[in-house]
Structure 1
Amino acid sequence: MSDKLTHLNSQGHAHMVDVSDKDMTKRIATAQATLTMQATTLTKIIEGGLPKGDVLATARIAGIQAAKKTSDLIPLCHPLMLTKVTVDINVISDCELEVLCTCSLSGKTGVEMEALTGASIAALTLYDMCKAVDKGIVIQNVSLLEKKGGKSGHWSKGDV
């Protein structure tokens, strides 16, 4: 792997990377975010007892929508034709949720930023939907878990 910053040109100015000569490959990335909250808040989420409605469905849709709009939010990201986006929200303790966002496509550039954006926005949506009952929710551990495809091949957080 190169330690060269690809978003800088020879003069050191930011630019969008030209991917036209790259090979088309299947590319997949999964990112996570975790939320820590009061146990009573998590119980209300699971039981559907919050005033704003189905919190989990809203967060999943927000994450999917965000992944599709990543290039509108992050200036040097390429607009991508994602072929699949999934957002899974799992209970990992009596006061923690994990958001997993997986994005895939066949293309010339990776989908790491789309997965990270999807996980982040799903987590922020969960916060927004629950803040009336728990303003102390903490979003943390936003990170890439795994990516596959492209010249650099397979990478996993567990391999680091």
Structure 2
Amino acid sequence: MEAKTVKQSRTINASLVLPSDTNNRGTIFGGNVMSYIDEVAAITAMRHSRRSVVTASTDSVDFITPANVGNSVCLEASVASVGRTSMEIFVKVISEDLFTGKRELTTTAFTTFVALDEKGNPTEVPGIIPETEEEKLLFETAPQRKKMRDERRKHNNDFVKNLRIDKMI
């Protein structure tokens, strides 16, 4: 399977922040941003693998500055690293005041997707070729994030074993 450049699957999507997207302070609901992130990241993963994908994890979503009603939010998603069947996708969200042109980094996120074959089983994905400085930084720091993901998954699995689901409130 031939490796692909990061730019071959990069996905960019812009949306207008409308009043129905915002809280009582006039800033976008975090849940809306998270939904946008999952969608643009999934498209990127499908573009890279040319397969159906499922979200395996959302490692982090960091809200840095708010996006206000009337702003645009532009999401840019790219493959940061790949495993045998998984793809780590980095998403950055930039808000823009459409009247002044002021742009701010609003949110960053790392998500992981798994590619599936026609029977719904995990299937191999192409490697990636980082070209820009940002792409190289994301690629070089991926092993540290994978280690943290693996540790978090182990702790979560241990925790989940102790949860009771036999009684509902």
Higher normalized contact order (CA 8 Å, seq sep 6+, divided by chain length): 1
Scaled to the shorter chain, the TM-score interval is 0.3 to 0.5
TM-score by length of 1: 0.34
